[in-house]
């Protein structure tokens, strides 16, 4: 029986610049490629399930064009892999590393077990610019401040060349393929009764081809103005590459090389290219923090926040989730999220600040909602970002930095274009009142066909009072931490 190589795909659903796939295919022996839907570690949110379905579908088509195939299996990874190794005479296993704590622990155990069985294991970093283990400060510990971390990375980072598309050996030429694959539709990843994914279908094209198109579109249309335009949600100057990075349909090195090439060709873009690469650095930093502080998704990085008294009012939470807080910029963001599986980064900060500091709802509750509704929901980014906004994270925004949703709206959506897109009941309001409709006179509201409290809610909390309450609670934990 011919010996075979197995490539186990996880968060690396691409052919180009895929270290595990590339190196496996250089061995010149039949290669099986598998994806396992393992729900025992981190169950996917609804929006991620939708994306995964179409990403796998796209990858199946790409591999088919290369006269190869993607094997789909659902269940516990260890059980499926061990059975496959025995039945298919697998001699070597390749995969790209994942950096979530439970996944790392599982992979470590699996590596030890396979080595004891005499199976060769090769794993690679295919999802980050740098290995979190190798980045240390002067005290030989891990960085806790992004500026120092990123400065170190920029000085010491070795630029990696991109890997080409692997050359596959058609397994059918060597032995009869008897391995059965699950039918993708049987996994029921797509929403039904009701199908809430129509907005997602309109805005996204999952898969490696979609990732290339999005990178090209960003470079051609939005990169030059990124440094300034990234803060204005109606302009949508951001790259929109985050879900493609999360599922590994494009590698960070592919993006890095493409951005650097533009910088060389057009030096005038240097301010924006540097700013964008810094944002890519924040993604790296989030994974770095998760690697060194595995409790990040559940526990406060700053332990003084362990005694913070959250209100966790269910009715207020429901209003926030549905985009019915009475604050237009907040509601626009939450409705954009539900409709498209995405929210502009500036608005993510505003909505997260509102939940944790106006409504006094635990950041972990907000993190769970984003996990279920974002197509780019990423354990590292999601956890680190929520803790950053809440003030409990590494290098976090000070807790007393409480976004005023009215001022934020007026500064970053002055014309109200973003709000009018996602909160259409306010579209006839003048710009002066688009972010504070409760200040409009009755005649103005009548002209706009709005009855506050019926057509659009009144604010569920009053900003000044909510801010004062939050600061008082913060002062309480500060006093307790000094005792």
Q: For residue 37, give the 3-state DSSP assignment.
A: strand
What is the distance between the alpha carbons of residues 388 and 385, in angstroms, rounded to a whole number?
5
Contact 129, 56 (CB under 8 A): no
The single residue of 363, 369, 371, 388 carrying the catalytic annotation is: 363
Whole-angstrom distance between the N-terminal and C-terminal Cα of the chain?
A: 70
Q: Which of 187, 282, 338, 438 is catalytic?
A: 282
| Two tokens, residue 463 | 């900003």
Instruction: Tell me the C-alpha distance between 1 and 170, whole Å.
Output: 16
386 is catalytic: yes
Selected catalytic residue, list 187, 196, 310, 438: 310
Q: Known catalytic residue: 187?
A: no
* Among 313, 345, 404, 431, the one annotated catalytic: 345
Q: Is 465 exposed, middle or buried (0-12, 13-18, 19+ CB in 10 A)?
A: exposed
* Residue 287 buriedness (CB in 10 A; 0-12 / 13-18 / 19+): buried
363 is catalytic: yes
Return phi, psi of residue 452, to 5°: -65, 135
Active site residue 310: yes
Q: What's the DSSP call for residue 249?
A: S
Nearest alpha-carbon partner for 90 in 29, 36, 38: 29
- 51 a catalytic residue: no
Give me the phi and psi of 326, to 5 degrees please: 90, 0
343 half-sphere exposure, CB direction, 13 A CA radius = 29
Catalytic residue list contains 371:
no
User: Choosing from 95, 386, 388, 422, which is the catalytic residue?
Assistant: 386
57, 78, 274, 279: which is the annotated catalytic residue?
A: 279
Q: Just list the catalytic residues.
A: 279, 282, 310, 345, 363, 386
């Amino acid at each position: 029986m011919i010996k075979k190589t197995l490539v186990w795909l996880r968060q690396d659903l691409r052919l180009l610049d895929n270290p595990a796939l590339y190196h496996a295919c250089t061995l010149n022996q039949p290669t099986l490629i598998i994806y396992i839907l393992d729900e025992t570690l981190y169950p996917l949110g609804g929006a991620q399930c939708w994306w995964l379905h179409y990403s796998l579908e796209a990858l199946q088509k790409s591999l088919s064009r290369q006269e190869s195939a993607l094997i789909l299996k659902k269940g516990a990874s260890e059980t499926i892999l061990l059975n496959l190794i025995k039945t298919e005479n697998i001699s070597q296993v390749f995969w790209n590393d994942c950096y979530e704590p439970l996944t790392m622990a599982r992979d470590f155990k699996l590596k030890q077990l396979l080595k004891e069985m005499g199976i060769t294991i090769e794993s690679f970093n295919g999802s980050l610019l740098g290995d979190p283990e190798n980045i240390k400060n002067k005290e030989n510990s891990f960085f806790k401040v992004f500026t120092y971390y990123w400065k170190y990375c920029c000085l010491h980072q070795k630029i990696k060349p991109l890997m080409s598309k692997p050359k596959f050996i058609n397994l059918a030429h060597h032995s009869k393929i008897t391995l059965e694959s699950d039918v993708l539709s049987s996994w029921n990843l797509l929403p039904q009764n009701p199908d809430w994914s129509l907005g997602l279908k309109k805005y996204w094209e999952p898969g490696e081809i979609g990732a290339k198109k999005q990178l090209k579109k960003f470079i051609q249309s939005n990169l030059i103005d990124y440094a300034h335009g990234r803060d204005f949600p109606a302009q949508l100057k951001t790259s929109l590459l985050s879900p493609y990075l999360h599922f590994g349909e494009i590698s960070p090195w592919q993006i890095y090389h493409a951005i650097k090439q533009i910088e060389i060709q057009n030096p005038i873009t240097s301010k924006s290219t540097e700013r964008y690469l810094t944002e890519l650095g924040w993604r790296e930093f989030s994974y770095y923090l998760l690697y060194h502080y595995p409790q990040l998704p559940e526990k406060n990085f700053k332990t003084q926040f362990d005694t913070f008294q959250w209100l966790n009012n269910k009715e207020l939470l429901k209003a926030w989730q549905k985009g019915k807080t009475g604050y237009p910029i907040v509601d626009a963001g939450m409705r954009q999220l539900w409709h498209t599986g995405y929210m502009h980064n500036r608005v993510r900060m505003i909505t997260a600040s509102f939940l944790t500091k106006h409504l006094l709802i635990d950041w972990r509750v907000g993190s769970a909602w984003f996990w279920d509704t974002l197509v780019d929901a990423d354990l590292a980014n999601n956890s680190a970002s929520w803790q950053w906004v809440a003030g409990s994270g590494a290098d976090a925004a000070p807790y007393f930095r409480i976004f005023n949703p009215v001022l934020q709206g007026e500064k970053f959506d002055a014309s109200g274009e973003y709000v009018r897109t996602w909160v259409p009941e306010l579209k006839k309001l003048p710009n002066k009142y688009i972010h504070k409709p409760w200040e409009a006179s009755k005649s103005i509201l009548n002209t706009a066909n709005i009855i506050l409290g019926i057509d659009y809610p009144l604010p569920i909390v009053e900003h000044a009072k909510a801010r004062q309450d939050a600061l008082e609670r913060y002062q309480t934990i500060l006093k307790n931490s000094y005792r």
